[in-house]
Structure 1
Amino acid sequence: MSEHIRIYVADLAAYNAGHLHGAWIDATLDLDDMQEQVNAMLAASPVEGAEEYAIHDFEGFDGYPLGEYEGLQTAHEIACYIEEYPEFGGALLAHFNDLEQARKAAEEDYCGCHASLADYAQELTEETTSIPQHLAHYIDYRAMARDMEYSGDLFTLETGFEQVHVFWNR
């Protein structure tokens, strides 16, 4: 994950006149502070009377494709969500493409991070079932994991090597 979650806000009047003018802004700042930085950038425009801006770049959104005209408030809300869930927030938001659904999944349906889905199947089985020791070696947790995934009861997000985030699909 990037150290900072930020957006590059471009001055559209300058851009249309052939000038690159804009500012990188920390998207987790208070919304009023973000707006002040945009206003300062527009006031320093090489084109007189600059008023319009767009988000032309972003960093730290971890897989979520922030749109050019999302708006400061939306960018801020998404950035704060990703900051709250740094291990999987951007990937979960990209999965749902809806902030409320992603938030609900993170708060209510998250089962944790595991090396594999088979590891999660084993953990779940051992926590909920008493398995006789002489039968434990015969359980195929990979097959159980495959069945769990194919059934649609859960979904996974892989965010790195042996970093499989498991969510119930409700």
Structure 2
Amino acid sequence: MNLIEAKIYIANLSKYVGGTIQGGWFDLPVEYSEIVGKLGLNESEEETIILDYEAPFMIHEYDGLDYLNERYELYSELSSEVRDNAKILIGDLFYSEEDLLENHGDVTFLPDVDTDEKLGSYWVDEGLISVPKELIYYIDTKALGRDIRMNGEITYVTEGCFMK
């Protein structure tokens, strides 16, 4: 499992509504008892609100800790390439965050393949398309890569591309 950095800023909701911020930063995963202890909350009566976060996934102000800890664990299991590009992949190759988390194994990351020309060359070099060796130098790898991208599920990112 890859450890990821994810933290949330939690505040006492009743004090926040009253105009005072009593809160602190917590690294995920975190237990509610740790929050109660650090913020001096009454565990049974006081509610909290998430005012800020730094994480590779979306966090909303009223998300529960069990949900956030579970998200943290799921994102920790992703490859660093998928995790670092999750926001791009959702919408391009996956319908939602749930789809990404359930089907992340369906994508292949190709490092340094970040243009149509490199994609076309990759397909030829890896034998994904049959080209007699006598014709290799006549292949327009840029046009081939463009056609592959347009007909398939390819997303370019800074470090390469994802292929589904």
TM-score when normalising by structure 1: 0.71
1:143–1:76: structure 2 CA closer, same or farther, 3 Å change rule?
farther
In the alignment, the residues of structure 2 paired with residue 157 and residue 15 of structure 1 have an alpha-carbon distance, to the nearest angstrom, of 43
Partner residue, 1:124: 123
Structure 1 match to 2:26? 25
The residue that corresponds to 1:135 in the other structure is 135
Structure 1 unmatched runs, 5+:
none
Q: Secondary structure at the match of 1:87?
A: helix
CA-to-aligned-CA distance 1:144-170 (integer Å, 9 cap, x gap): 23223322x213152x3xx133131xx
Alignment match, 2:98: 100
Change in Cα spacing, 1:74 to 1:165, as seen in structure 2 (3 Å) is farther
Q: Is the 8 A contact 1:105 1:167 kept in 2?
A: no
**Secondary structure in 2 matching 1:142:** helix
C-alpha contact 1:114 1:165 (8 A) present in aligned 2: yes
Is the 8 Å Cα contact of residues 81 and 109 (structure 2) preserved in structure 1? no
- Per the alignment, residue 154 of structure 1 pairs with 153
In structure 2, the partner of 1:54 is 49
Q: Equivalent residue of 1:23, what SS?
A: strand
Distance 2:96 2:102 in 1: 10
C-alpha offsets along residues 61-83 of structure 1, whole Å, 9 cap, x if unaligned? 1xx43222222222222222332
Partner residue in 2 for 1:67 = 60
Seq. identity, %: 24
Mapped partners of 2:102, 2:139: distance in 1: 33
1: CA distance between counterparts of 2:111 and 2:16?
46
| TM-score, normalisation: structure 2 | 0.73
Residues 32-65 of structure 1: per-residue CA shift (max 9 Å, x gap) = x4222222245x15x9x8611122111131xx43
Contact 1:78/1:99 (8 A) holds in 2:
no
> What's the offset of the Cα at 1:5?
1.3
- Aligned pair partner of 1:83 in 76, 82, 87: 76
Structure 1 pair 143–129 and aligned structure 2 pair: CA distance change class (3 A): closer
Alpha-carbon distance between aligned partners in 2 of 1:97 and 1:9, rounded to the nearest angstrom? 30
Amino acid of the structure 2 residue aligned with 1:98: S
Distance 2:87 2:34 in 1: 26
Deviations 1:101-121 (A, max 9, x none): 1023311x1111322153344
Kindly indicate whether the alpha-carbon contact (under 8 Å) linking 2:15 and 2:21 is maintained by their aligned counterparts in 1: yes
Name the aligned partner's letter for residue 102 of structure 2. Answer: K
What is the deviation of 1:13?
A: 1.2
Q: How many residues align?
A: 152
The correspondence of residues 106-117 of structure 1 with structure 2, limited to 5 A, is 106-107=104-105, 109-115=106-112, 116-117=114-115
Q: Name whichever of 134-143 and 86-95 sits farther off.
A: 86-95
State yes or no: 1:166 paired with 2:159.
no
